[in-house]
A and B are shown apart, each in its own frame.
Chain A
Amino acid sequence: MTGGKMNEAQLHAYADGVLGEGERAEVEAHLAAHADDAARVGAYRAQNDALHRAFDAVLDEPHSLRVGAARTPVPGRWRWGAALAATFVGGAVLGALLHAAVGERASGAVAPIARQAALAHAAYVPEVRHPVEVAASDEQHLVAWLSKRLGTALRAPSLAPAGYRLLGGRLLPPAGEEGAAPVALFMYEDAQGRRLSLLVRREPSGSATAFRFARQGATNVFYWIDGPLGYALAGEIGRDELSAVAQVVYRQLNS
């Protein structure tokens, strides 16, 4: 069958090295006469090798996954956040209030501000060289510039209590209606290089809401409206941890 059409499955089996002696020789004879199939088989083998190069390191990574240790059940979800909140004067009370007020949007449509925050987070967080337009070393300028563009006084909250330092920020176009003010994005990073972004935008409705939670893909978002501004904190960290950081943001902005 050297001249004939090779069975597709046989080519894959050859690339995967699972053919017996006889079949292997048959495929090799076919490949010698069919350069296009030979190139394909070569590419598939290269894919397998590349997959191992890309992901084998995961095998040796430390991790904390265990069997039989069910994760914290729902009623206790906020323990981590509450503990962190309790380290601040008055924080425990605030933590309890926010905790009670948190809304859940995870199953329904993602709110526009949460969606915008998740999209911006996904776009800029992987950037190694240009995660921000203006770096934190220029914080005064950054805050003044963004305040001017949004037309209201902004602050870049310090997330040091949660272990995150400000990397800097950037300006984003408004998501919705024409003529709306642009949007500010602050980015933070912890010692392990995990990043959070805080999106701040004008909210014409100008009310106040409870913390709400949304999840878009792998990105968790807490968002809320406080007076003229809406906030959305996005990150890939766990929900409880993100909630604790959101509470730090809230307190910083209201102190």
Chain B
Amino acid sequence: MSALTAAEIEAQIPRLRRFARALTGSRDAADDLVQDALERAWAKRHLWQAGTNLRAWLFAVMHGVFVNGTRRRRPAESLDAQDGADRERVDGGASAETAIAVRELREALQRLPDEQRQVVLLVGLEQFSYAEAAGVLEVPIGTVMSRLSRGRERLRQLLEEGAPDRHGLRRVK
């Protein structure tokens, strides 16, 4: 019995949503992306090979949807970065400092090129191996490594630039 069931796919929804949220920076855009990916995965479920990593396959399907979506939306994309996501609570007991750090991270992430953000998130947040990330993105592993390297370094710079905020200096927006 190797047919993929809806329940098996649904078990991965939280992970897909977490990644999509970090990728798009917006709850609505993320859930749209995940819903589109679920529909596509369901329609193409016969393509999944039993015994292979279902989560990686679903992420690959979602990556395809994301790439098509951004290509379509490209002319108007600049707004994606700063929509409602930043208003979200971090978690109940988080200190103001944590909340600021989280907001800065979200903002910095959105300033990374899509390709770098994807790799930084697949590896750093979703804990895919480099080989799995290469499979999800359908690029060679060397490409994953160079995007990871550039993405993390860029993120480090962005966060360091943002850091004076926390010490009371005013940042000009």
Contacts and interface: CB of A to CB of B under 8 A. Distances in A.
Interface of A: 8-9, 12-13, 16, 18, 40, 43-44, 47-48, 50-61, 63, 65-68, 70-71, 107, 109-110, 115, 118-119, 122-123, 125-126, 128, 193-195, 215-219, 236-238
Interface residues on B, range: 35 or more
B79 interface: yes
Given A51-B22, A60-B14, A236-B29, 12 more contacts: A47-B155, A53-B101, A54-B22, A54-B90, A55-B18, A58-B14, A59-B17, A122-B83, A215-B73, A215-B76, A216-B79, A217-B81
B102 A50 contact: yes
Interface string B54-96: 0000000000000000001101111111111011001100000
B21 A58 contact: yes
A57 B91 contact: yes
A234 B47 CA distance: 39
B34 interface: yes
Nearest to B126: A51
B143 to A, nearest CB: 12
B31 interface: yes
Contact of A219 (B22, B27, B79, B86): B79
Overall SS of chain B's interface: helix
Given A47-B156, A53-B98, A216-B79, A59 B9 contact: no
The 3 closest A-B pairs by CB, nearest first: A217-B79, A218-B29, A217-B80
23 contacts: A9-B149, A16-B123, A40-B153, A43-B152, A47-B105, A47-B120, A47-B152, A57-B91, A59-B15, A59-B17, A65-B13, A66-B10, A66-B38, A67-B41, A71-B39, A126-B82, A126-B83, A215-B73, A216-B79, A218-B24, A218-B26, A218-B29, A218-B84
Q: Interface centre among B24, B73, B152, B153, by most A CB within 10 Å?
A: B152
A13 B144 CA distance: 12
Nearest to A109: B75
Contacts of A57: 90-91
Nearest to A61: B17
Nearest to B148: A12
Given A8-B145, A236-B28, A54 B106 contact: yes
A217 to B, nearest CB: 3
B84 to A, nearest CB: 5
